[in-house]
Structure 1
């Protein structure tokens, strides 16, 4: 089956029990990741239960092609539903996935788990879409860049939680800047909410976001400061990364903001790899195209790919979860994450 754009979000929020395999793909890796996360939370009672969720990469499929079938057949040790999540950059390593889909359709595969495949953009002629789309027990969900209407809905729903609304001139000025990547858009909306203040922090009646507020936290104002932290981290320059992070925090920067920026950068690297890793892919992802920043991005691209990139994404996700759930200060948790990634990049670059 193939989900329409209109029903895509409903499909992941309220999954059909008859669907045993999902292919969530598209050039907007932020939206792809968001919908995959929504599906995981909708299927599993505890998404953090390692006995309920098995995560694999294309490197895992290539090194152990039978591992996917074993994971799909395994029973949950704690009872309840199980899900196997596979993250790909494209068609590479998709052979075992296609065999699972064939088995589900023929009835020869008695899978205990639901299969979730998350990938970059795929062509209609590709093997994965050809396997999923005709299948009755599988579904594809495409993730393309948000329209102005869907961005407006996302923005309004997030602001509504904190009792905020956009003034008309702010709406006209700001929404076009968010187009292109769901993760970037969500991060910018969160940044604006933090700037304006949570419901419990604001003065009574201060619930309208003006154009002046938007200009104060515009995405391009501070990207250079964030890149001063991210670039040395992802290039393995430990001393520079540590120094830049502490300078940013001392100057009033947000550890959570840096973590969000790191997640966006990792997603951006993944999107470029998925689109071919060439100059055109970099341009479409919004990566810098000229000068020292472009050179640094290309070096990051060469270091972070495949399994290494997926591991970095998982570490960033774990850090975000720890920030939300633990009593430890965000500054310490994010600082530790940055040093771990910098050490890893330094080892890869030797």
Structure 2
């Protein structure tokens, strides 16, 4: 069935036990992923990932996995991300099965009106489909206020608007930024704090400078040019956090693309499908990064980048410029080793 506008929150927070397949699709994949997380939280379930490429070769596997009782007696949600038309036979088998112990969530990007997967999800009584549209400015501001509250932050409308704009209305970036403000202000749901312009000035997202270029040199394994760029940076280390955040933004962009490659798509086909969503000058560098890093490697770099940023913000690391340089050179050397 297709969700009615405004009803998706109720559908994932108080899920219908009869629904065994959820299709979250659309341009805002971060919102789709967040809905999958909310469903798992509502069911107090763990998430089990299944690659779409595996289902293409074994369509019966999905129904088997959904019908199996967890060996530890807990609940689980089976997640397919990214998902596309290749999982349709597996989904049809799931919906035709006699029973299912665990629901399945498929996270897809934009699907056309002729999509067989979308038609099944919208028409079958045991399925639910929801489209996640890109956030406009007003929706993004409301999201900032809502997510801030979960971090123990009270964000005024003007502050929320600034954060949404700095993050280009991107849900994942907004969530990351708010977590940083909560850390900076020592805020929590049990000890809420006001989020004002002072905090934004101190640790807000800095999108200026050629910081993305430096991050790209590290992920692209160009040790020589990276070392040269680091030598030209301000020795005070004031640019360290903006560079780390640029690295994180690039990782957020690469992760879902690399997941598609891991599921069986060719790098060249994935790059072609991105079209104008990726700046043409960035395409050769991004294609190189996809060849150098797998999903596990990108996840490790993301974790280390987050750890480094927290150390820089707390001031419990070596001089910022030194700590940043060591980490970026280590990333570049790992990229060269493949």
Q: Same fold (TM over 0.5)?
A: yes
Matched, 1:283 2:276: yes
Distance 1:289 1:317, change over 3 A: closer
> Could you list the per-position Cα deviations for residues 201-257 of structure 1 after superposition, in whole angstroms to 9, with x for gaps in the alignment?
xxxxx93522893597344136x4355235532x35579889999x99x93745985
| Cα shift at 1:56 | 0.9
What secondary structure does 1:113 align onto?
coil
Aligned match of 1:154 in 126, 131, 143?
Answer: 143
| Cα shift at 1:174 | 4.7
> Could you list the per-position Cα deviations for residues 36-85 of structure 1 after superposition, in whole angstroms to 9, with x for gaps in the alignment?
2222222234x2xxxxx431112222343332232122211111323221
The aligned counterpart of 2:200 is 213
5 Å matches for 1:160-309? 160=149, 161-166=151-156, 168=158, 170-171=159-160, 173-194=162-183, 197-199=185-187, 207-210=194-197, 213=200, 217-221=204-208, 224-233=210-219, 235-236=220-221, 251=237, 253=240, 257=245, 260-261=248-249, 263-267=251-255, 269=257, 277=270, 281-284=274-277, 287-290=278-281, 293-301=282-290, 308-309=294-295
State the alpha-carbon separation in 1 of the partners of residues 336 and 202 from structure 2.
35
- 8 Å contact 2:78–2:103 — kept in the other structure? yes
- Highest RCO, 1 vs 2 (Cα 8 Å, sep ≥ 6): 1
| Cα shift at 1:267 | 4.5
Q: Over aligned residue pairs, what C-alpha RMSD do you find?
A: 4.5
Normalising by structure 2, we get a TM-score of 0.70
Normalising by structure 1, we get a TM-score of 0.68
| Structure 2: tracts of 5 or more residues without a match | 309-315
State the alpha-carbon separation in 2 of the partners of residues 263 and 181 from structure 1.
14
